[in-house]
Amino acid sequence: MSDPKQQWTETIEADHSMFDLKLGEVWRYRDLVYMFVKRDFVSSFKQTILGPVWFFINPILTTIVFVVVFGKIAGLSTDGLPQILFYLSGVTLWNYFSTSLTSASSVFTANAAIFGKVYFPRLVMPITIVISNLMRFGVQFLLFLLVWLYYLNKGDITPNVWLLATPLLIILMAAFAMGAGMIISSLTTKYRDLQMLLGFGVSLFMYATPVIYPLSSLSGIWKKIAMYNPLTGIFECFKYGWLGSGDFSPVMLLTSSVIIFALLAIGTVVFNKVEKSFMDTV
């Protein structure tokens, strides 16, 4: 017979409302988030010679390719901005978003082994992903700052107060990647084909986002379509604030914010629903 004074410190239930996000429980597991972030960062450089230098190599090589292909050969407009700085700004933002989205979209399939052995709030994993990739973004953003300071000193750019919105833009990108990633991850527990198509889809999505071209270069129906892309307001605000040029308005950023947080809410609810039974299908 159990002691009537005994009290449980944790209660694990399989049946709970999919609208019960248990954010308080996620906060109690914040030390686990820190451990996962540290693990991801260390494992990125384990048994590599150059270590963190790889974070610089990727944006540098990508920027060079964009300058040659889209700047020199295709002759795409950069709104009169230095081509290297224009493409580097887009690459820096895109790398963070695409990496976070790709990683978050495989949360269930990639972590099925650990999910089946130990309990912790499953939301910990997508949160860990956007934070660990944020550390990589910080390294690449440092490269962008160095190039930015060079052109600022030359007087080729005229930044403005909107550059202070950068933390908000990062949060929006993280929320978008996390929300979309959780939806895709939930679907891939039953439909593995989506995981195969994701890489191709992300590549196409880059061309629907003003990474290699400014929004001002579009017109008509194509510009209207681009306006519904939540990343458009983010990228245009970043370039407008840091480089001083771009087709940006606060309404555009507000629209992106509403769409992104709606997607994040939907993604969290779907993720919360699937986590209760995904081990049966993975």
164-188 tens-digit pLDDT = 999 999 999 999 999 999 898 888 8
Q: What is the pLDDT of residue 180?
A: 92
CA distance 67 to 59: 12
Ranges of each domain in the chain: 31-36+50-280
Of the candidates 26, 3, 7, 9, the residue with the CA atom closest to the CA atom of residue 275: 26
Q: What is the pLDDT of residue 50?
A: 60
Contact of 66 with 91, CB cutoff 8 Å: yes
Q: Could you identify the residue written with the tokens 């080729």?
A: 156
Contact of 236 with 247, CB cutoff 8 Å: yes
Q: What is the pLDDT of residue 280?
A: 47
Long-range contacts for 47-54 (Cβ within 8 Å, ≥24 apart)? Answer: 52/139
Read off the pLDDT of residues 62-87 as tens digits, 9 standing for 90 and up: 999 999 999 999 988 898 899 999 99
pLDDT, tens digit only, all 282 positions of the chain? 455 555 655 555 555 555 455 667 777 878 888 888 887 777 766 655 566 677 788 899 999 999 999 999 998 889 889 999 999 999 999 999 999 999 888 887 777 777 767 777 778 888 888 998 988 899 899 999 999 999 999 989 999 999 999 999 999 999 999 999 989 888 887 777 777 788 888 989 999 999 999 998 888 888 888 888 999 999 999 999 999 988 888 999 999 999 999 999 998 888 888 776 654 445
| H helix or E strand, kind and range, residue 175 | helix 166-188
Contact of 100 with 178, CB cutoff 8 Å: yes
> From the CA atom positions of the chain, what is the Rg in Å?
21
Q: What is the pLDDT of residue 21?
A: 58
Q: Could you identify the residue written with the tokens 């989506």?
A: 194
Q: What is the pLDDT of residue 188?
A: 82
CA distance 75 to 27: 49
